[in-house]
Amino acid sequence: MLTVIKLLVSAGLIYLVNEIVVVRAKPLLGSMIASLPLVSIITFIWIWTGLKDRPAEQAERLAAHSTGVFWFVLPSLPMFLLFPFLLKKGLSFWPNLVICCLVTAGLYAVMAVGLKKAGIEI
């Protein structure tokens, strides 16, 4: 039952953003909601409740997750500038999305290598 609740809450947030942007034509509000770290917050809650019987592991996993999210948000940010730039240059949606995902994946790899070289373990 908990899995169903997790799925419904997570899917509901995506649906909410889509409804605000597409149906209500309020891209600013949709963008603000989408930019909130909702996935991370929900994940914090799922980790916290899933490990409630193991408080030491709970804190360790939450800290590791939060640190990892911080470091991997940074290489994802350029996508939000590249995507509209390519759209304005006339590149259609699907190729644009693929390029942005590939660039982001490459930046994730660079970040992972850089963190390892810097001695930062996630």
Domain with 97, as residue range(s), is 59-122
Nearest Cα to Cα of residue 86 among 103, 73, 109 = 103
pLDDT confidence of 100, banded at 50, 70, 90?
Answer: very high
Instruction: Indicate whether 114 belongs to any domain.
Output: yes
Question: What's the structural domain count of the chain?
Answer: 1
Q: How far is CA 67 from CA 22, 62, 86, in A?
A: 33, 9, 31
Instruction: Indicate whether 115 belongs to any domain.
Output: yes
Interval 102-112 mean pLDDT: 97
Which tops the pLDDT comparison, 9 or 81?
A: 81
Residue 105 in this model has a pLDDT that exceeds 90: yes
Q: What is the pLDDT of residues 38-58, one digit of tens each?
A: 888 888 988 999 999 998 899
Instruction: Indicate whether 20 belongs to any domain.
Output: no
Instruction: Indicate whether 76 belongs to any domain.
Output: yes
The tokens of 47 are what?
A: 């980790």
What single DSSP character describes residue 42? H
Interval 110-121 mean pLDDT: 94
